[in-house]
Amino acid sequence: MKNIAVIGAGTMGNGIAHTFAQFDYNVQLIDISQASLDRGIATITKNLDRMVAKEKISETDKNRTLGNITTYTSIKEGVQNANLVVEAATENADLKGKIFKELDEVCPADTILATNTSSISITQIAGVTKRPELVIGMHFMNPVPIMKLVEIIRGYNTSDETMDFIVDLTKKINKIPVEVNDYPGFVANRILMPMINESIETLYNGVAGVAEIDTVMKLGMAHPMGPLQLADFIGLDVCLSILNVMYDGFKNPKYAPCPLLVNMVNAGKLGIKSGEGFYDYSESRKAENVAKMFS
């Protein structure tokens, strides 16, 4: 297996493409617009430059990695020789279903179809295809080139051969695969998102401020990043989507998103990507200044 197609050139997609390309896989990076692809390649280049500056890789390594990536604005053209497709589009079940239906129609019959979904049912996604035994979840962590964990999620019909192959491939790109079963949120977000949501509830109820909540969790629980800063880093819209998936899947009120989170997303305060969330990122991408509405 040498040809890996990645659907989506955003934060997760370009990180996945970067990682496979760095390990000498031929990567076909696919997005709907050339502008999105250009931004994705620019991000990969910047991240590689940072690695060169830290002497983790050489300039030759950087150029080889970039040379392993080809961009496409057409799914059909980008996947025609793919052995594996990793979908990393927006966390939306309808969109993913549409993408997988198209992939099933245009990919070679033996192509494995993986999704980077962080919460949506693999079985549901596989259900729109005629190859459910070849559909699997590969939930990478952000930032992909740095984080070691990949949750490997088996759908109801995922074959043992597909699971074994993806676990082995994950190890070949120097990641650590952890096999989990197909329930909303899997493991990482089933535990993480309620913590973030409860942190937002704590703020919403006036128990403490943004910086105080994050400081308690960093100093008291040894978290490298406070939960509100982490929510900004993930994207508040993504957090809301994941919580909604879990709430819909379990019908348990403990997964219901905090009204403050809903209002912030509706107001376009999405975190780092929008320049403001719980912190103000207008001057720095570091969480140094609490957003005006919370200060």
Single out the catalytic residue among 139, 197, 241, 276. 139
Is 105 annotated in a binding site? The answer is: no
Is 91 annotated in a binding site? The answer is: yes
Is 244 annotated in a binding site? The answer is: no
Is 127 annotated in a binding site? The answer is: no
CA pseudo-torsion sign 184, 244, 198, 146: positive
Of 220, 230, 65, which Cα lies nearest the Cα of 147?
Answer: 230
Single out the catalytic residue among 3, 116, 189, 197. 189
Q: Please tell me the distance from the alpha carbon of residue 103 to that of residue 89, in angstroms, as a whole number.
A: 13
Q: Please tell me the distance from the alpha carbon of residue 87 to that of residue 6, in angstroms, as a whole number.
A: 6
Q: Please tell me the distance from the alpha carbon of residue 64 to that of residue 141, in angstroms, as a whole number.
A: 24
Of 190, 192, 232, 194, which Cα lies nearest the Cα of 211?
Answer: 232
Is 12 annotated in a binding site? The answer is: yes
Respond yes or no: is residue 189 known to be catalytic.
yes
Q: Please tell me the distance from the alpha carbon of residue 158 to that of residue 45, in angstroms, as a whole number.
A: 35
Single out the catalytic residue among 118, 121, 197, 199. 118
Is 171 annotated in a binding site? The answer is: no
Q: Please tell me the distance from the alpha carbon of residue 26 to that of residue 259, in angstroms, as a whole number.
A: 44
Is 8 annotated in a binding site? The answer is: yes
Of 190, 143, 136, which Cα lies nearest the Cα of 167?
Answer: 136
Is 92 annotated in a binding site? The answer is: no
Of 294, 264, 269, which Cα lies nearest the Cα of 282?
Answer: 269
Respond yes or no: is residue 139 known to be catalytic.
yes
Respond yes or no: is residue 241 known to be catalytic.
no
Is 174 annotated in a binding site? The answer is: no
Is 282 annotated in a binding site? The answer is: no
Enumerate the known binding-site residues for NAD(+): 8-13, 31, 91, 96, 118, 142, 273
Catalytic center residues: 118, 139, 151, 189
> Per the annotation, where are the binding residues?
8-13, 31, 91, 96, 118, 142, 273
